[in-house]
Amino acid sequence: MSFLAPLLAVFGISVPAILVLYILKVRRRIVVVPSTLLWRTEAVDRQASVPWQRIRPSWLLFLQLLAAIALVLALTRPALAHPAQLGPDTVVVIDASGPMQATDVSPSRFAAAVVEARALVDQLGSGQRMTLIAMDANPRVIAASGGDHGVLDAALSGLRPEAGLADLRTALALATAAPGGGNGDRRVIVISDGVVDVSGPTVTLPYPVQYLPVGVSGENLGISGLTVSGVDGSRVVAINVTNYGTARHATTIETRADGHLVDARAIDVEPGGSVEVDVALSGSPHTVTADLTPHDTFALDDTASAIVQTPRVIHAVLVTPRNIFLQEALQLRSDLRLDVETPAAYRPHTGVDLWVFDGFMPSALPAQPYLLVGPPADPAIGAGVEVRPGPLTPASAGDPLMEGVDIGNVAVAHSRDLSASSFGRAVIDSQAGPVLLVRDGAPRAALLGFDLHDSDLPLSPAFPVLVERLSEFLVPDAVPPSPVEPDTPVDIPVPGGGSVTVTRPDGTTETLNVMAQMGDAVLTDTDQTGLYTAIIRAAGAQQSVTARFAVDALDPARSAITPQSELASVRGAAASPTPGSRGAVFDDLWPWLAVLALAVLSAEWVVFHRGR
Amino acid sequence: MTSRAASAGIAAARALGLTPDVLALLDHMSLPSRRPVLGDAGQRRSRRTGGSVEFADFRAYVPGDDFRRVDWNAYARHERLIVRLHSADEDVTLTLWIDTSASMAYGDPSKLHAAASLAGALGYVALGAYDRACVATFASTATMLTPRLRGRSATHRLWLALAGLHGDGRTDFGAIGRAATRTAPGIAVIISDFLSQPGPDAALAALRGAGQEPVLVRLLSRQEVEPDLQGDLRLVDAETGTAVEVTVTPATIAAYRSRLAGRTDALRTLAARHRARWVDLASDTGVVSAVRACRSAGIVR
């Protein structure tokens, strides 16, 4: 047995101190009483004529000494030592992704992983450090490098499995970057079922990587698709069920519309195969939910929901002398109804979702979203004289508006000088300043500085894509029209700013405030599957708009939950040094001594109050 | 009795709490006798045999004697007032034994003051009913403060004796036993706190042997019944000077009360064994309530 804090034995002075207190007499106040006849038995063992007295056997003294000894021993932290199983620096990566919710091991893969992690924490010895990393779609450090068992246990207690797919690559990057790994004695332990995102090249770590697999079975039947087509009165729900296991499975698909059961159908699905079930819907339901009953060991993909939506029609008006390029590009959108007017015939009116002004700018810009193409010079929008822009480049990398838009070879002869414009943020830049500006406020608007006829852009494959991106930006969907995967950020447009209150499937709510410059609320907490309701309150608007969207776990990569015997795409360094160099682990005995001291003090309290 | 002595007696009565209202209440009371006792001619039946008009003796008249008992024939012959005594009409002598030890000086009001007040009241009752009364004190020794007084006019002397008491010395009930033979048979009322060892066992036996009918009146101060002490104390006995050290806690107080109750039971049992009446009073009870308690116990009626 070792003492981890032997210096604290100095508090052993309390033992002789207690004895001294029993030897020394108490200084007492003198009170003259008529008679001591009735008090005498109280003082049989306390009378003395000297400043000290002989110690008499006393339960109180015995218990107080015992409590003091127990407390002093606890302070010195006696511990039993045994060889450590871990190295001086261990990083434990715990898989908290969706597949870890599988219950093929009791109570779940995730719970089993936490148990294994706790066992590792228990093996942590003095002077050893451990870092805990939660691995899901967004890996993160949940306990920084340290040796405090309480902190590590608390981090494990607060960890919950998410619905997304594990991002092993990012988790290992975090493990590499964690502090304290400079001396090369780090060891990485991954507790996972191996169902991870393996896209990309093999990850090579400078440390040994140990994989502790969790899970025993990959049998899983899940919904891999849910689509609603048709119009009210003749809608059809197409439900795809996939067998990700190695055995044939039977199940029943229960289909509910607005919560009411409309169809229940038994199906058999071959291993690796899929079955599509079409269910006709009558009436005009708002939501459809498909449920596989009974649920198997992986329930996350046994339920899927969809919002029944009537395809919207965007009414756009193109005001142009003549621009066949723009007209054709706009008409590529099936949900857009386009009217074409000449500038002379332009009259502002309502009922228009999108205005497109080509080579023309009205005296008063409309209240609806609009796109200005090749406007005349106008200080109101900051359009100056014509300049030669030169090569075009995206103003910022990763702009969703430029996703799939290749403008590298586009040439523009002339463009309005927008360098001094405060119209909005730049999307396409050039040597002479921006040529495409967009505004996120209300109404949304876009300004393309050049006439399409002065450019070869209309002949580029990027042109229709750019027009579609711009039209989607200018007239966005309130919420995603089709189900999104868990842990996927959802943009909820709030032009002009305001707030969005989102109610999750479990009834919890979150309010997101949107500044006018932002234009979008981004909901990131979408780990729950099911139906979400968003109440959108635009700034200054009298009424709110309610929109619903669904989050479904339809990704086959998540549903293929077969545990992997080894981690793919990961290569670690050579094995760790000999166990003898790992030091020792100490089992603290102080908690038991503290409990003993508490029990003895409780007994002392009882003896004190009964004996007096 | 001179008017000056009467005035001093009235002042002493006031000091003892015996106001005219209290005295008016006492006027309706008298001493009972549980059994016939030997005594002088008076209002009570003697245990001696003989008819109610049987002549027993003569003695000189003293103020307060009933004029009907004066032998006018003897007066005619000797020109002295002579009273005829009859065997069946002997009066009772009330001996008031008051503990004047140092412990009796404690309390608010002091136990000694309460004892003197009660003794003054009982003596007034006795003398008012043509019985005899005398006051004796005891601590280390016994002292007869007054002779056997008779007649209401003697109450002033009795009160004056009681008003001058002060506490000192140690309680010794043996002093009563040694003096018991010097007192007339009758009723012996011992007023004390009985907080000493040995107890009054021997004294009661001696009184009984001397033809006394003993009455024990215990007086305790409120502080003795409900101690308000706390903390680590060195308690010094006011009589013996011995000290004990105690740490006073609620549990200690509870133990004290338990022992006080045991002490009370022991004294009550002792009184019963000696066929003595028992009265338990607190020093702040007040003389009227104290006398009523005595009446409840059959000491007066």
| B266 and A CB contact within 8 Å | no
If pLDDT is split at 50, 70 and 90, which confidence band does A418 have? very high
What SS3 string covers A66-122? HHHHHHHHHHCCEEEEEECCCCCEEEEEEECCHHHHCCCCCCCHHHHHHHHHHHHHH
CA–CA distances in Å: residue A16 to residues A10, A12, A64, A65, A543: 12, 8, 11, 9, 79
Please count the other Cβ atoms lying within 10 Å of the Cβ belonging to residue B250: 10
Where do the H-state alpha helices sit in A139-229?
Answer: 149-157, 168-177
Find chain B residues with C-beta within 8 A of A24's C-beta: none
Rg (CA), chain A: 37
The alpha-helical segments, DSSP class H, found in A408-478 are 462-474
Give me the pLDDT at residue B46, please. 44
Q: Would you tell me which residues 6-65 of chain A have a C-beta closer than 8 angstroms to some C-beta of chain B?
A: 25-43, 46-47
The answer to whether A578 and A222 have CB atoms below 8 angstroms apart is no
Q: How many CA atoms lie within 13 A of A61 on its CB side?
A: 13
* CB nearest to A35's CB, from B196, B243, B251: B196
The answer to whether the beta carbons of residues A417 and A385 sit under 8 Å apart is yes
On average, the pLDDT of chain A sits at 86
What is the SS3 assignment for B70? strand
What residues form DSSP beta bridges with A513? Answer: A499
Task: Please give the biggest Cα pair distance in chain A.
Answer: 125
- Please answer whether residues A191 and A533 qualify as being in contact, where contact means their C-beta atoms are separated by less than 8 angstroms: no
Look at residue B297 in the predicted model and tell me its pLDDT. 85
Q: pLDDT tens digits, residue range A52-95?
A: 667 777 888 889 999 999 999 999 888 887 776 677 888 999 99
Residue B258 touches partner A, C-beta closer than 8 Å:
no
Poorest-pLDDT segment among A254-263, A408-417, B69-78: B69-78
Confidence of residue A501 (pLDDT cuts 50, 70, 90): very high
> Which ipTM did the prediction report?
0.78
Residue identified by tokens 């479904």 is: A552
Beta-carbon-side half-sphere exposure of residue B100 (alpha carbons within 13 Å) = 25
What's residue A453's pLDDT? 92
Gyration radius of chain B over CA positions = 21
A514-523 average pLDDT score: 77
Name the pLDDT band for A50 (thresholds 50, 70, 90). low
Pairing of β A425-430 and β A436-439: antiparallel
Q: Which two tokens stand for residue A447?
A: 């300004």
Question: Do B246 and A42 count as a contact with CB atoms less than 8 A apart?
Answer: yes
Q: How many CB pairs under 8 A join A and B?
A: 93
A32 to B238: CB separation less than 8 angstroms, yes or no = yes
> What average pLDDT does the segment A120-134 reach?
85
pLDDT tens profile A468-477: 999 988 988 7
**B232 contact A CB<8A:** yes
Least confident of B265-269, B277-281, B297-301: B297-301
Please tell me which residue of chain B has the smallest CA distance to A28.
B233
> What is the rounded average pLDDT of the residues A336-351?
89
According to the model, what pLDDT value does residue B55 have?
60
**Vertex B175: Cα angle to B262 and B301 (nearest 5):** 65
DSSP A343: G
Phi/psi region, residue B108 (left: phi>0; alpha: psi -120 to 50; beta: rest), is beta
pLDDT of residue A581 exceeding 90, the answer is: no
Residue of A nearest to B250 (CA): A612
Ordered by where they begin, the domains of chain B are 3-34+91-296 (3.40.50.410), 42-90 (no CATH)
Q: Mean pLDDT, to the nearest integer, of A39-63?
A: 66
Asked whether the beta carbons of A356 and A330 are under 8 A apart, the reply is: yes
Contact by Cβ (8 Å): A74, A593: yes
